Structure 1
Amino acid sequence: MEEKDTVAEKFDDYALSRVPQKERKHWLGIATMRFGQISALTQFLLGAALGFGMDFWTAFWALTLGSVILEIVSILVGIAGMKEGMSTTLLVRWTGFGKFGSILLSFILAISMIGWFGIQNEVFAHGLQELLGGPIWAWAIATGLLVTLIVVFGIFSLGIAAYITVPLFLIVVLYSISSVLGDHSLSELIHMHAPGPSLSLAAGTTMVAGGALLPERLLHRI
C-alpha cells in the first residue's frame, strides 16, 4: 500500500489542489511542453486558412495582433496560476463562478479536447498507415493508446515526450519549409495575392487569438 502511495504521489499533477512550492517546474521545461502543444494540427490549419484568405501583410498583422491579445491574456492568467498554484477549474471556482460554474467550464473543455483528440489521432494514424501500411483502425487504436498512456502519467511524462518530440518536430518543419518555399523568392511570396476568398483582418486576428486560448489553461499553474 505504501508503494502505491509513493507511485501515486510521484505522478500527481495536483489537478484538484495547489501545487506545492517545491513541486513547481522550471520555466524551460514548461516552455518546451508549451511549444509542443502549439505544434498541433490546429496551428497548421490556422496557417493554411490565413494563407489561403489573406495576402502576406494582412496575415502578418493578423498574427501580430492575435499574438499580442493572446500574450496579454496568457500573462494575466499565468500570474494568477503561478501565484495560487491552481488549475483553471479551481481558479474559476474560487473567483466567483462557484462549484457549478467550474463544472460547466470543465465539461466544455473536456468535450472540446475529446473532439480534437479524435481528429488529431486520425491524422496520426493515417500518417503511419501511409508510411508502414496496415489497417487504419489498428493504427488509430495503437496511436490513441500511446497518447493516452503518456497523458495518464501527467506532467512528468508530458515533459519527457516534449523533450524528444519538439526537437524532431523543429527539424521536420524546417526541412518542409525549405523544401516548399525553396522555389519561390521572398519578394514573390510577399506580393502574392490570396488564392481563396478574402478573409478580413478582424477575422484573422480572432482566429489567431481564439485558436490558442483553449490549450492555454493546461500549463499555466505549474
Structure 2
Amino acid sequence: MTSELGDEVRTTDLDRLTATKETLEDYTLRFAPRSYRKWSTGVVGISALGGIAYLADFAIGANIGISYGTTNALWGILIFAVVIFLTGFPLAYYAARYNMDLDLITRGSGFGYYGSVVTNVIMATFTFIFFALEGSIMAQGLQLGLGVPLWLGYAASTLIIFPLVIYGMKVLSTLQVWTTPLWLILMVAPFVYLVVSHPESVGQFFAYQGEAGNGGFDLGYTLLAAGVCLSLIAQIAEQIDYLRFMPPKTPENARSWWTWMILAGPGWVFFGAIKQVVGLFLAVYLIANVADSAGIANQPVHQFLEIYENFLPGWLAMTLAVVLVVISQIKINVTNAYSGSLAWTNSFTRVTKRYPGRLVFLGFNLLIALILMEANMFDFLNTILGFYANCGMAWVVVVASDIVFNKYLLRLSPKAPEFRRGMLYAINPVGFGSMLIAAGVSILAFFGVLGEGIRPYSPLVAIGLGLVLPPVIAIATKGKYYLRRTDDGIDLPMYDELGNPSGAHLTCHVCHHDYERPDMLKCQTHDAFVCSLCLSTDKVADHVLPAQS
C-alpha cells in the first residue's frame, strides 16, 4: 500500500511539473491570464481570421452547387451564414470578455464539469476531419505542381505542421499576420479576372442547375446544402482559441475591441460564405468552358490553376497555384492542430486526472488526420460533413441558447462563466441533456430513420431542439444544477472596476506558481490557495471544496 501511494504521489507531482510549463503549453486547460495577453486587439483578430484561410470552403461551395444547383446552393449558404453569426456571437463575446476557450465556457453553460467532455470530443473530431480535408487539398497541389505522390503529400502536409504548433499563440500570431496579405492577393485575383474579362461567366453561374437539374429553388435541396455548410459551425471554437487572448476591454480600446471581436468571432462566416460562393463560381466556369473538367471542378488547386493559366505563363500559374495551396493549408492546419490538441488534452485530463502535456495530443490528432487522408476521405466529403453538422450544431446552439436565454433573460444560469472543479456539478442536464437529444434526433433524421420527408430538415431539427430545450430544462430544474458552490473561499473580487477578470496574483500551494485570481480557489485541507489545473489533477479530491447546502 505504501509503495502504491508513493507511486501515485510521484506520478501526480510529475503531472503537475508538466502542467506548469505554461509558456510552452499556452494555458491549455485554464483561463488565459492578463499578464500573458500582451497582443493588441488587431493582432489577435488578424491571427484568428488567418485560421479561416482554408480552401475547403471552395470545395464545399463547389460540391453543393454541383449537387443542387446555384440557386439552392446560394440559399443554403445564406442560411448557413445567418445561423453561424447568430449562434457564434454570444460565444465569441464570452471568450473575449472572460478569456476562456469554448470548453471552459461550455462547462458553466449548462454542461457541468465533466459534461463538456463529450463536446471536446466533438471539437477534436472537427479538427481532424478538416485537417484531413485541408491536408488532402495540399497533397493534390504538391502532386500537380511537383509530382509528389499523394501518400507522400499527405505525410508532408501533416509533418510540416507539428513544429509550427509547439509554441502556441506566440508563433501562430506571427505566422498568421505575415502570410495574410499574400494569401488574399492570390485568392482574389482569379475571381476578379473572370468577372472582368469573362462577364458571361456571371450568367452561366446563375443559370447552373447542377446534377439535381430541378431548374430553380427547392427547399429540400436548399436545406441539404445548408446542412453541409453548417458542418463548419464548430469553427467558432477555433476562432475562440485565439479570441481568449484579447486584451482587457477598456473605454480607450472599446471600439477596436468590439470590431475585432465581431469580425474575428462570428464575422468569420462572412468570409467563409464568400469563399464558398467563389468556389462554386470557379467550378461552374470550369464545367462550362474547360473540356474534361467535371471530375476536377470541385478541387481548389485545379480551380486556381486553370484560371491562372488564362492570364499568366504556365510555369508561373503552376507556381502561384501551389504557393496558394501550401500557404492556405499551413494557415488553417496550424489552427486545426492547435485547437485539436487543446480539446483532447482537456478531455483526457479531466477524465484521468493526469496531464501528459498538449504536445502528446498534438501528435495524436495529426495521426488520426493522416489516417483519414490515406483513406481518401475527399471522395465522400458531403456525407461526412452532413453527418458531423448535426453534432456540431447541437453543441454550439445549446451553449448559445444557454447564454442568451438562461443567463441573460431567465437568469437561471450564473451570468459569469464558471469552469473550476468543485464549483460545478459533474453533469448539468440543461446543456448536456439538450445536446444529446438535439444531436440524436437530428442524426436519426439525417439518415432517414424518421422518414425520407424529414431527412433534408435534419439541420433545422438540431437547431430547433438546441434552441428550445435549454430554457425548458432549466425552468423544469429551476437552474439548481449549475453551481455546486457559490463561494470559492477567496476574499478578493473576481473582476475589476471595468468588469474584466482581475489581474491580482495568488500562489498555488501545490505547484508553487503564481496565477491570477479567476484561476484560483481556496484549498479544502490547507489554509492556502490552489490553482484550477492542480485541482483537475487531484486524484483523491484532497483540495476540492465540498458542496454548499
TM-score between both structures, scaled by the size of structure 1: 0.80
Kept in 2, the 8 Å contact 1:42–1:211? The answer is no
Structure-2 separation of matches of 1:50 and 1:80: 33
5+ long unaligned stretches in structure 2: 1-17, 246-549
Q: Which runs of 5+ in 1 are unaligned?
A: none
Q: Which residue in the other structure is 1:55 paired with?
A: 70
The one-letter code matched in structure 1 to 2:128 is I
1:201 is aligned to: 222
Tell me whether 1:192 sits opposite 2:207 in the alignment. Answer: yes
User: Pairwise mapping of residues 21-170 of structure 1 onto structure 2 (< 5 A)?
Assistant: 21-24=34-37, 25-52=39-66, 53-56=68-71, 58-170=72-184
Residues 193 and 172 of structure 1: is their aligned pair in 2 closer, same or farther, counting only changes over 3 Å?
same
Residue identity over aligned pairs, in percent, reads: 21
1:219 paired with 2:239, answer yes
Change (3 A) 1:50 1:30: farther
C-alpha distance 195-177 of structure 1, shift in aligned 2 (>3 A): same
Q: Structure 1 residues 123 and 201 mapped into 2: Cα distance closer, same or farther (>3 Å)?
A: closer
Higher helix share: 1
Q: Cα distance, 1:17 vs. partner?
A: 0.9
Q: Point out the structure with max Rg over C-alpha.
A: 2
- Alpha carbons 2:51, 2:239 under 8 Å: kept: no
What is aligned with 1:183?
Answer: 198
Higher RCO (Cα < 8 Å, 6 or more apart): 1
User: For the residues of structure 2 that align with 1:110 and 1:16, how far apart are their CA atoms?
Assistant: 15
Deviation string 1:53-90 (CA, Å, 9 cap, x unpaired) is 2335x544433332122111111101111232111112
Alpha-carbon spacing, 1:30–1:47, altered in 2? closer, same or farther (3 Å) = farther
In the alignment, what sits opposite 1:17? 30
Aligned in 2, Cα 1:27/1:49: closer, same or farther, shift over 3 Å? Answer: farther
Q: For 2:40 and 2:167, how far apart are their aligned partners in 1? A: 18
The size of the alignment, in residue pairs, is 216
For residues 205 and 139 of structure 1, what CA distance do their matches in structure 2 show? 31
Verify the 8 A CA contact 1:11 1:156 in the aligned structure 2: no
How far apart are the structure 2 equivalents of 1:186 and 1:115?
A: 33
Q: TM-score normalized by structure 2?
A: 0.36
Is contact 2:49–2:239 with CA below 8 Å preserved after alignment?
no
- Alignment CA distance shift 1:111-1:69 (3 Å): closer
Q: How far is the alpha carbon of 1:97 from its aligned partner?
A: 1.4
- 2 CA distance for matches of 1:191 and 1:135? 37
The letter for the 1-side match of 2:223 is A
Moved over 4 A (4+): none
Q: Give the AA of the match of 1:55.
A: T
Letter in 2 for 1:118: A
Cα 1:186–1:128 shift into 2, 3 Å: closer
CA root-mean-square deviation? 2.9
Change (3 A) 1:86 1:30: same
Q: Which amino acid aligns with 2:31?
A: R
Contact 2:164 2:171 (8 Å CA) reproduced: yes
Question: For the residues of structure 2 that align with 1:187 and 1:124, how far apart are their CA atoms?
Answer: 28
Deviation at 1:129, TM superposition (A): 2.9
